[in-house]
Chain A
Amino acid sequence: MSQALLQVDGVSKRFGGFTALDGVSVDIRPGERFGLIGPNGSGKTTLINCISGVLSSDLGAIRFDGQDITRLPAYKRTRRGIARSFQVPRPFRSMTVLENLLVAIDFAVIGHGLSTRQADAEVYAILDKIGLADKAHVSSSQLSQVELRKMELARAMAARPKLLISDEAMAGLAGAEVDEVLDVLLKLNAEGITVIMIEHIMQAVMRFSERVMCLDAGRVICEGTPQQVMADKRVQEAYLGT
């Protein structure tokens, strides 16, 4: 069996007296399409924060590409190939869409050796893929909520990740747009990028994922194929309960 790209090993995170993650372990294989689900407040975003380095975990270890990254600052993890989008968009508001993506190219892709024009071309290619090309020179403070979500993904892609983590990129999107974003993620995966998708829209998760994991109250309650997870009693209870 091929070595895991990302190994999360017994990661715990507490906020004061509240345990947001309680010994979460999971291995993500290279090239995998992985779905992460769980009711509101179950710890999905917290797990992503620990993986991307926005938060440091209290316990446990995280390995990426065969190396321990548990204590690495976030920017170094991004440079090694972990890029993420934010559930609540975090644009660089004083910049255009183009400049937002250039930040990622300039700082995440170290030694890219691209000329200004080549970097611009790479940004346009990404924006084309995600359907934002006509907004390249618009200030990100003027984007709609939907466009902001797309830019979140686009900026993550500009970092040329090996692992792309999408935190509810489709929340608030209409049916056709959900399909659009789903197609983008599938295309990226076909290009060899491993994708973790957090999503509340179940059809999207079912269509996209090869494997799904469900969190509840900071613990992994089920992991398997989408069909297995949907059929699982504990998962159904977690979603119906409360």
Chain B
Amino acid sequence: MGGVGRHLGFWIGAAAFVALAFAMALTVRNEYAFFAGFVVLQFIVLATAWNILGGYAGYVNFGTSAFFGIGVYTAVFLLKAVAAPLWIQIGVAALVGAALGLGVGLLTLRLRGIFFSIATVAITIIAETLITNWKFVGGATGVQLLRPPVTEPFDSYIKMLFVIAAVMVVIAVALARYVQNSGLGRGLRAIRDDEIAAECSGVPTLNLKLVACALSGALMCAAGAPSAMYLQFADPVSAFNLNYSVSALAMSLIGGTSHWIGPVLGAILLATTQQLLTVTISSEVNVLVLGVMLVLFVVAAPEGIIGLARRLWRWARRRTS
């Protein structure tokens, strides 16, 4: 009963969200709103993706930028090789991300704790080095890309990208929500709490971690793919920028990792702040703000915005009763 209502509520909300994005794209003139909005949406996808492995299973992954960058370059490659349309770029990037997640997972997921995290940093360095030395996709200097003409009913490519990003947000969040509420989610939570006890309770820990890593990787790569067309340029230093790894992690932790809404709230809060700061002050301040907010939350609200909300809710109930 409550379950059906909640599902319905979620999908109505999701549909309304996409409809709103679409309506905005058709009516709002100012392109800058979409430029900034796209980045916020992209970070929601990244943080949501990060949380599937990093939050639900507790495997803190510093490799977001590796997956993101490979998503960017999957798109670049497909553009240059076969002039593939955008949706093919995104779809193939998701497949590449899933395969990469499986491969990386097989190599690193037997490591626990800090060793896993360090291995994921190494993956980023390896991926960036490989792309830097690959001439076909531009090598170290990067590559200029031409946008194809925009599809009806949109009047600008950026607006179209914005709506596509909104759809990707819905897909990512729906997937994370499904994982959270399924048996997989309970298994991942058991792994996060105590991996040995989980294994001894029949949880196939390695398999579940691999599934989580593949899903997470697929979403991260998919998030990177439209970036190529967004910037009309790609170079290894920005595609594999460590900022993606740090931001995805910080957004999830600040929002709260135990529920899918956490990374969404964290991404909206942080990415919006960053966008405003970039306009008003400078992009260098971003890193500082990110750091300060992360420290504040880790100290004052270790369970993120979700934890804060829960505490407030309990406090309010005690006052009224």
Contacts and interface: CB of A to CB of B under 8 A. Distances in A.
Interface of A: 52-54, 73-75, 78-79, 83-84, 86, 90-95, 99, 102-104, 106-110, 155, 158-159
A90 B204 CA distance: 17
B193 A93 contact: yes
A92 B200 contact: no
A78 B189 contact: no
B1 to A, nearest CB: 13
A158 to B, nearest CB: 8
B203 A107 contact: yes
Contacts of B216: none
Given A75-B205, A90-B194, A83 B189 contact: no
B201 A91 contact: no
Which of A52, A79, A94, A110 has most B Cβ within 10 Å?
Answer: A94
A119 to B, nearest CB: 11
Interface string B163-204: 000000000000000000001001101101110111111111
A91 B200 contact: no
Given A102-B186, A103-B186, A103-B187, A92 B197 contact: yes
Contact of A83 (B186, B192, B200, B258): B200
A73 B199 contact: yes
Interface residues of B, number: 20
Interface of B: 183, 186-187, 189-190, 192-194, 196-206, 258
Nearest to A99: B186
13 contacts: A52-B200, A75-B200, A75-B201, A91-B197, A92-B189, A92-B193, A99-B186, A103-B190, A104-B201, A106-B202, A109-B202, A110-B202, A159-B201
Given A94-B189, A99-B186, A107 B197 contact: no
Contacts of B206: 73
Nearest to B199: A74
A84 B200 contact: yes
A108 B197 contact: no
Contacts of A52: 200
Contact of A95 (B189, B199, B203): B189
B196 A91 contact: no
Given A75-B203, A75-B204, A103 B198 contact: yes
A94 B197 contact: no
A78 B204 CA distance: 10
Nearest to A102: B186
Contacts of B183: 106-107
Which of A73, A94, A107 has most B Cβ within 10 Å?
Answer: A107
Nearest to B189: A94
B202 A79 contact: yes
Contacts of B197: 86, 90-92, 155
A83 B196 CA distance: 13
A54 B202 contact: no
Nearest to A90: B197
A79 B194 CA distance: 18
Nearest to B58: A94
A155 B206 CA distance: 21
Contacts of B203: 75, 103, 107
A83 B200 CA distance: 7
Given A92-B190, A94-B258, A109-B202, 13 more contacts: A73-B199, A74-B200, A75-B205, A79-B202, A86-B200, A90-B194, A91-B193, A92-B194, A92-B197, A95-B193, A106-B187, A106-B202, A155-B201
A72 to B, nearest CB: 11
Nearest to A54: B196
Given A99-B186, A106-B183, A106-B186, A54 B193 contact: no
B202 A91 contact: no
